[in-house]
Amino acid sequence: MKQFIVSIAKEAGKMALDFQSKAKISSKGPKNIVTEADIAIEKYLVQKIIERYPEHKIVGEEGNYAYDDADVWYIDPIDGTSNYAHLDPHFCISIAHAVKGEVKHACIFMPVFDELFFAEEGKGAELNGKKISVTKTSELKDAMVQVEISPLKDTIDNSLKIVRHFMLSADRVRDMGFCAGQLAYVAAGRSDALLKNSQHPWDIAAGMLLVKEAGGRVSGHDEKEIVLGDAKKRHNIVASNGLLHGAIIHELRSNLKDVDFKKLWW
């Protein structure tokens, strides 16, 4: 399984680099673009998965596929499409395999950097074959926190309230524009935590397992376990090194009461 996932992720990354700067761009909605590369890579991944595991189901960003609660693949052909379209190197291919709602295998590949993150349930997380782990930062004031900045008129004000709050209460705040990659960065100790809203299952499935296997913690804003489900489900997510998790949840519940989190869904 690992060999298969790594091989298709690397081929997808090669396709992304081959397409970059040449792929036609179209719009799926306000501030939501798709490129020829997204569509071609997802088609390739779906074909390969179905050829090898014809009984498995797929939840992907660019197509409508079947879903059940047995073996399910969550695939994002290019996470960070806006970055990709602007030749920003921060984009990735995200692939996760789940069984009855539990992610068993996860792969996030960043082709520009040639960085492949992989995790298997119970076996830890790795980057290019070397074990990785979350940070040991224990105080929020010292933390680098990834916080989503919404690009939409109806949600940006609430989004910026959260950014401002954590900019003051943490050491630094960032939004690099690719959720799967940002989760991989938490797993690798490049950030201490991540806080995002309204994420699709394919945005977070692989990154969730990476963070957990690297020694971190993942939950919803309510501190409950995230159950991925089908393509229609959206999730608010907190991922951290574990040591900061309680502090971040406390900030959400106690010090961000004026934020209407329902207005952050888009």
Consecutive H or E run containing 249: helix 245-250
Residue 262 pLDDT level (bands cut at 50, 70, 90):
low
Residue with tokens 């406390």: 250
pLDDT at residue 28 in the model: 59
In this predicted structure, what is the pLDDT of residue 261?
66
Per-residue pLDDT of 218-248, as tens digits, reads: 999 889 999 998 878 889 999 999 999 999 9
pLDDT band per the 50, 70, 90 thresholds, residue 205: very high
CA-to-CA separations, 116 to 64, 134, 181, in angstroms, rounded: 27, 16, 11
Q: Which residue carries 């390739």 as its tokens?
A: 44
For the purposes of burial, counting CB atoms within 10 Å of the CB of 111, is it exposed (0-12), middle (13-18) or buried (19 or more)?
buried
List domains and CATH numbers for the chain: 2-131 (3.30.540.10), 140-264 (3.40.190.80)
Here the tokens at position 83 are: 């970055």
Check the CA dihedral 126-221-78-45 and report its sign: positive
